[in-house]
């Protein structure tokens, strides 16, 4: 399939009918940005129920790492499904789960032995990380970063500090969690310039949080996204992770890297941590790990994963079909798609920076591989957030046949499937150029 190809007004008649049914029976808590009703997908292209074709630069929130319905992944799913669908790994053994654990141990940036716990999603992987950190350390408290997103179940929600609406109405969240500024060097929380920052925001953590709020010897773990996702696709300087790792080692605090969105080849390396030489104690992963099937993994140094039978489990976690999909996904990533993410990502970032030179609305362009953030501002000097403009650009991209999502308050994320070609990247850039131009010409 090729895209974009828009045949009807959006949404088309079949899409409208399904959206009306959804409104009647489906939870209103879901955030649907625009009225896409998918019928099928192939590679980086999706087709809606009315036959309109879209270039997918969202990938189901960075989930469809190998593209839509990659034949190798589908083959692995069908093969496993014909053998058996479920036999809970909590109570019994099966080879796909063991093979996947072996594979994960070989790819995560943790020296020494590694063991994995299997769940169904990113938030469950982070729940397991929280419990494991407390169990192993015998310490009660956790520290996370402002702007972070770690999930919506109660424990991971306590870590999440992306948008107030995600927490509103659910308090009190789990006690014992503190937040500290992340290295957003475009908008330094200390008012410094990026070139002079040196991750000084960590001073706030070391000199205030760990002095005025909680003593280091009571902190079980610090949880960090190596590249922050929902907070705006923020790429910190290497200094940030160097200093953070040194701080945790100094105080015997576990470091948890949340690679749910940034992992599995998205940044042009298997894990974003590798860009910074970061070696965490615990790592959570999900989203792109199984090309669309539900799977979450909490990997930890073997010396850390010392909990006893019954301490934590999951009926469906590590489902054999999901494990088979993950094994096929990892092979594709290793063989070709990580390299493609790096190459096409470099091409796409360069193209967005060319657009930045022509469009004053683009304040900052950042990213690694095919994890790219474009921050929109009304004035480059004041950096006033262009929030409504960002939303209009997202809508206009949809009208032009390209699917994108927002991140943070005024950023668009480009997180396409890792099969994206340079020609498809150019189609995305063409649509983005037109959408931004339309918004810039509209009255304020």
> For 55-93, what is each residue's pLDDT tens digit?
999 999 999 999 999 999 999 999 999 999 999 999 999
Is residue 438 predicted with pLDDT exceeding 70?
yes
Please, are residues 433 and 374 in contact by the beta-carbon 8 Å criterion?
no
Interacting residues of 351 by C-beta distance below 8 A, sequence separation 6+: 425, 426, 429
pLDDT in tens, 268-305: 999 999 999 999 999 999 999 999 999 999 999 999 99
Q: Cα(430)–Cα(444) distance, rounded to whole angstroms? A: 23
What domains are there in the chain, each with its CATH number? 13-70+336-441 (3.90.1150.10), 72-333 (3.40.640.10)
| CA 52/CA 39 separation, integer angstroms | 10
Task: Tell me the average pLDDT across 21-33.
Answer: 95
Q: What is the pLDDT of residue 181?
A: 94
For residue 213, give the DSSP letter. Answer: I
Q: How far apart are CA 46 and CA 57, in angstroms?
A: 10
Give the sign of the dihedral formed by CA 56, CA 59, CA 62, CA 65.
Answer: negative
Is pLDDT at 195 greater than 80 in this prediction? Answer: no
379 class by beta-carbon count within 10 Å (0-12 exposed, 13-18 middle, 19+ buried) = exposed
pLDDT of residue 198: 67
Q: What's the confidence (pLDDT) of residue 200? A: 83
pTM: 0.96
Among 188-197, 276-285, 304-313, 336-345, the least confident range: 188-197
Q: What whole-number distance in Å separates Cα of residue 304 and Cα of residue 164?
A: 33
Angstrom CA distances, 213 to 98, 145, 183, 209, 403, stand at: 42, 15, 20, 5, 43
Alpha-helical (H) ranges within 294-337 are: 320-332
The confidence score (pLDDT) of residue 287 equals: 98
Total number of residues shown for the chain: 444
Give the CA count within 13 Å in the CB-facing half-sphere of 88.
Answer: 6
Q: CB neighbours (10 Å) of residue 142?
A: 27
Which H/E stretch holds residue 371? strand 371-379
Q: Is 151 left (phi over 0), alpha (psi -120 to 50) or beta?
A: left
Contact (Cβ atoms closer than 8 angstroms) between residue 11 and residue 55: no
pLDDT tier at 171, thresholds 50, 70, 90: confident
- Band (pLDDT 50/70/90 cuts) for residue 34 is very high
| For the chain, percent of residues with pLDDT exceeding 90 | 91
pLDDT band at 443 (very low <50, low <70, confident <90, very high): confident
Q: How many CB atoms lie within 10 A of CB 357?
A: 8
Average pLDDT value over all residues in the chain: 96
Whole-Å CA distances, 342 to 215, 231, 270, 326, 415 = 41, 22, 11, 21, 13
pLDDT(196) > 70: no
Report the pLDDT value the prediction gives residue 216, as an integer from 0 to 100.
98
Tokens read off for 74: 């589908």
In angstroms, the CA 286 to CA 415 distance is 15
Q: What is the mean pLDDT of residues 386-410?
A: 97
When pLDDT is cut at 50, 70 and 90, the band that residue 147 belongs to is very high
CA-derived radius of gyration, the chain: 22
Per-residue model confidence (pLDDT) at position 2: 86
In angstroms, the CA 298 to CA 110 distance is 13
CA distances from residue 199 to 70, 187, 205 in whole angstroms, order as listed: 40, 12, 11
SS3 128: helix
DSSP code at position 1: -
Quick one: tokens of 200? 């000084």
- Inform me whether the pLDDT recorded for 201 exceeds 90: no
Query: Token digits for 116?
Result: 């994995």
List C-alpha distances in Å: 143 to 63, 164, 196, 334: 27, 18, 25, 33
């Amino acid at each position: 399939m090729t895209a974009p190809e828009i045949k009807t007004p959006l949404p088309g008649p079949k899409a409208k009918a399904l959206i009306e049914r959804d409104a009647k029976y489906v939870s209103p808590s879901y955030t649907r940005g625009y009225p896409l009703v998918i019928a099928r997908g192939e590679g980086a292209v999706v087709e809606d129920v009315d036959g309109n074709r879209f270039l997918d630069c969202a990938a189901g929130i960075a989930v469809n790492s190998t593209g839509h319905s990659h034949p190798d992944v589908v083959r692995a799913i069908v093969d496993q499904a014909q053998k058996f669908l479920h036999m809970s790994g909590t109570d019994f053994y099966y080879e796909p789960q063991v093979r996947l654990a072996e594979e994960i141990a070989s790819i995560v940036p943790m020296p020494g032995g590694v063991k994995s716990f299997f769940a169904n999603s990113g938030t469950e992987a982070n729940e397991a990380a929280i419990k494991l950190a407390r169990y192993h350390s015998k310490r009660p408290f956790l520290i996370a970063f402002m702007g972070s997103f770690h999930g919506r179940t109660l424990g991971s929600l306590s870590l999440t500090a992306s948008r107030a609406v995600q927490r509103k109405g659910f308090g009190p969240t789990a006690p014992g969690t503190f937040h500290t500024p992340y290295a957003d060097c475009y908008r330094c929380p200390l008012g410094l310039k990026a070139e002079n920052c040196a991750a000084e925001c960590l001073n706030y953590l070391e000199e205030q949080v760990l002095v005025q709020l909680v003593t280091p010897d009571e902190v079980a773990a610090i949880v960090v996204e190596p590249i922050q996702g929902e907070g705006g696709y923020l790429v910190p300087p290497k200094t940030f992770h160097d200093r953070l790792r040194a701080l945790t080692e100094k105080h015997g605090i576990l470091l948890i890297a949340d690679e749910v969105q940034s992992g599995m080849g998205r940044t042009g390396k298997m894990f974003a941590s590798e860009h910074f030489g970061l070696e965490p104690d615990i790592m959570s992963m999900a989203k792109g790990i199984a090309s669309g099937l539900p799977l979450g993994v909490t990997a930890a140094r073997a010396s850390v994963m010392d909990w006893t039978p019954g301490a934590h489990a999951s009926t469906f976690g590590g489902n054999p079909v999901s494990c088979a999909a993950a094994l096929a996904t990892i092979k594709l990533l290793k063989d070709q798609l990580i390299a493609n993410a790096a190459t096409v990502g470099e091409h796409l970032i360069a193209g967005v920076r060319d657009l930045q030179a022509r469009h004053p609305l683009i304040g900052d362009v950042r990213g690694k591989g095919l994890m790219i953030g474009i921050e929109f501002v009304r004035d480059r000097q004041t950096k006033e957030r262009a929030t409504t403009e960002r939303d209009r650009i997202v809508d206009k991209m949809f009208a032009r046949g390209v699917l994108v999502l927002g991140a943070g308050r005024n950023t668009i994320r480009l997180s396409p499937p890792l099969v994206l070609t340079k020609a498809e990247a150019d189609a995305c850039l063409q649509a983005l150029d037109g959408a931004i131009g339309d918004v810039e010409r509209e009255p304020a």
